[in-house]
């Protein structure tokens, strides 16, 4: 059977000859019939010269050199490929990193519209997908225990912090997000009654405007709390921690999208304001170091955690993506030795998102969440320190099913970043690193930001949390658990071929 394929050489031959023929024709008509035809002559002269340049002068693109201007069509079509696939060809469950079906669930929750669907699930029911195990005896919702989690209780500190919903907005800096996005999320979570992580963007000017509860993140560049040599400035940390909105501090060791590499803010996104808030120059990428200057061994890493606890007088957590199991265990052993524990550990799965990261890191480094979480839980139990701290996690946990699964596998609460971006209306255009986000979430360009109306988006964020909580309790009740504390790994069905357990 003949193969249906584009015969590029033949098409190119006709196009290249056609340009010359039409140039001659318009020229002839312009000279002999009417000078108006010279508009056509001018157009085809430009195409002819461009084609000549592509085929005989430039040396970078083999396709253009071999076939001329028609090869440009390939580049153009390729550049709109993601949009074509998203709008026309991709099915509801195949887009990445989040399928349309997954995103639609968040959009509906954010719009507060009925999220029921008809006929049947679009997901696979094969031997790879993790599912929750329901009970024959679901709990009556009025008998369920309200969720509550207190950070800092293990150390008995004065400034403990309690949350009463198991969801937290994961770190996203002002810089990665534009000001309207930050303020919309901050206002929404204030209404919903959950905290928001500031990300590593330095002084949280826009987060503070909305007076929501904040977790201030110290990234490896320590924007906002930094000495000129890159070490921690304890006085600045103490000042920031005394703000009533700042409830906890998080030390970021690594992030799932780029573990082993520091943060990255591309130069396109560095406005005058960001350059001031972070104390960095404009016009060049801002690359944070891959580790805290103070932290090169388990010993000095634990000492650093202790210093942050002492300067801030707040609960202090650490965030990391798991790499080496042995390194993690050694860190825990050192904590035991020094009798110093962070108030929480947050595990970021390798599938985590980012404003910008090298593709080689995004695709290749770090342990995915549903592998890392049971491993961390096991090590904490084996080392007999599980009751010394709380365990949080993140990694595509944007819906209640995934969130409950993570909690059954050991997490006390869950973080999500992209869930909240979808609540704001993110269309997964994958342009967070370019300042061109079409819905203005990750752009500082006023042209795109003007689409983000803060009161409207804040309402959507609050709706998202409200509906997450509703579904969360419904699912929890179906497992037969009265409280999240009763959730155990046996409430999850993990088929032996699930990617997270497959050898
Ligand atoms: C736009 C964007 C900006 C982010 N900025 C930070 C950051 O400043 N610090 C950090 O630790 N993680 C950052 N992250 C990672 C998230 O906090 C989170 O760990 C990760 O995306 C996994 O959660 P998710 O799958 O729910 O998005 C960012 C993620 C996104 C999408």
Residues 6 or more apart whose CB falls under 8 angstroms from that of 136 comprise: 480
Contact 264, 357 (CB under 8 A): yes
pLDDT tens digits for 429-476?
999 999 999 999 999 999 999 989 999 999 999 999 999 999 999 999
Structure tokens at 52: 């000549």
Which of 128, 121, 126 has the alpha carbon at shortest distance from 93?
Answer: 121
pLDDT tens digits for 304-326?
999 999 999 999 999 999 999 99
Task: Give CA–CA dist 353/29, Å, rounded.
Answer: 59
What's the predicted TM-score (pTM) here?
0.90
217 forms bridges with which residues in the sheet? 250
Centre of ligand 1 from the C-alpha of residue 170, in Å: 6
Which helix or strand (DSSP H or E) is residue 98 part of?
A: none
Atom number in ligand 1 closest to CA 349: 22
Structure tokens at 252: 């970021």
Which residue has better confidence, 155 or 262? 155
Locate the domains of the chain by residue range.
8-79, 131-493
Task: Give CA–CA dist 309/449, Å, rounded.
Answer: 37
Centre of ligand 1 from the C-alpha of residue 255, in Å: 7
Instruction: Assess whether pLDDT exceeds 60 at residue 402.
Output: yes
Sign, CA dihedral 199-200-201-204, equals positive
Atom number in ligand 1 closest to CA 346: 19
Residues with CB under 6 A from ligand 1: 170-173, 176, 199-200, 217, 252, 255-256, 319, 348, 352-355, 394-398, 416-419, 432, 442
Instruction: Assess whether pLDDT exceeds 80 at residue 498.
Output: no
Atom number in ligand 1 closest to CA 201: 8
pLDDT band at 502, cuts 50/70/90? low
Q: Whose CA is nearest to atom 6 of ligand 1?
A: 172
Q: Whose CA is nearest to atom 8 of ligand 1?
A: 199
Centre of ligand 1 from the C-alpha of residue 46, in Å: 47
Q: Whose CA is nearest to atom 22 of ligand 1?
A: 352
Fold of 131-493: TIM Barrel (3.20.20)
Atom number in ligand 1 closest to CA 419: 26
Q: Which long-range contacts (CB under 8 A, 24 or more apart) does 55-60 make?
A: 55/16
């Amino acid at each position: 059977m003949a193969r249906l394929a584009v015969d590029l050489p033949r098409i190119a031959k006709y196009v290249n000859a056609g340009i010359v023929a039409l140039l001659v024709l318009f020229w002839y008509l312009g000279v002999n019939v009417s000078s108006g035809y010279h508009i056509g002559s001018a157009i085809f002269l430009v195409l002819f010269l461009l084609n000549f340049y592509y085929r005989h002068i430039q040396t970078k693109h083999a396709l253009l050199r071999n076939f001329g201007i028609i090869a440009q069509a390939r580049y153009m079509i390729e550049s709109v490929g993601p949009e074509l696939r998203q709008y026309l060809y991709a099915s509801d469950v195949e887009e990445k990193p989040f399928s349309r079906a997954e995103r639609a669930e968040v959009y509906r929750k954010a719009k507060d519209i009925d999220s029921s669907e008809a006929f049947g699930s679009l997901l696979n029911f094969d031997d790879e997908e993790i599912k929750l195990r329901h009970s024959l005896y679901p709990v009556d919702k009025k008998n369920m225990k309200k969720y509550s989690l207190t950070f800092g209780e293990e150390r008995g500190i004065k400034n403990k912090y309690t949350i009463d919903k198991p969801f937290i907005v994961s770190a996203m800096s002002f810089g990665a997000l534009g000001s309207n996005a930050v303020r919309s999320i901050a206002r929404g979570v204030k209404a919903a009654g959950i905290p928001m992580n500031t990300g590593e963007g330095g002084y949280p000017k826009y987060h503070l405007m909305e007076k929501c509860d904040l977790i201030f993140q110290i990234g490896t560049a320590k924007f906002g709390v930094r000495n000129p040599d890159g070490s921690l400035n304890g006085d600045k940390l103490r000042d920031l921690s005394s703000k009533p909105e700042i409830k906890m501090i998080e030390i970021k060791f690594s992030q799932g999208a780029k573990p082993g590499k520091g943060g990255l803010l591309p130069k396109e996104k560095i406005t005058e304001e960001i350059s001031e808030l972070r104390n960095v120059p404009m016009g060049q990428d801002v690359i944070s170091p891959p580790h805290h200057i103070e932290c090169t061994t388990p010993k000095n890493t634990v000492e650093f955690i202790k210093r942050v606890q002492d300067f801030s007088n707040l609960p202090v957590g650490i965030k990391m993506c798991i790499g080496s199991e042995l390194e993690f265990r050694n860190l825990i052993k050192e904590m035991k030795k020094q009798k110093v524990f962070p108030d929480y550990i947050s595990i970021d799965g390798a599938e985590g998102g980012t404003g910008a990261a090298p593709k080689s890191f995004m695709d290749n480094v770090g342990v995915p969440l549903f592998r890392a979480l049971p491993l961390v839980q096991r090590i904490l139990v084996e080392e007999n320190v599980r009751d010394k701290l709380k365990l949080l996690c993140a990694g595509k946990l944007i819906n209640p099913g995934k969130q409950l699964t993570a909690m059954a596998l050991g997490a006390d609460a869950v973080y999500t970043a992209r869930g909240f971006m979808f609540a704001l209306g993110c269309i997964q255009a994958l342009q967070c690193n370019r300042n061109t986000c079409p819905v203005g979430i990750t752009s500082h360009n006023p042209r795109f930001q003007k689409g983000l109306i803060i009161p409207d988006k804040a309402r959507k964020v609050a709706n998202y949390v409200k509906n997450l909580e509703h579904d969360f309790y419904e699912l929890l009740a179906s497992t037969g658990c009265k409280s999240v504390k009763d959730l155990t790994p046996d409430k999850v069905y993990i088929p032996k071929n699930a990617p997270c357990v497959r050898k």
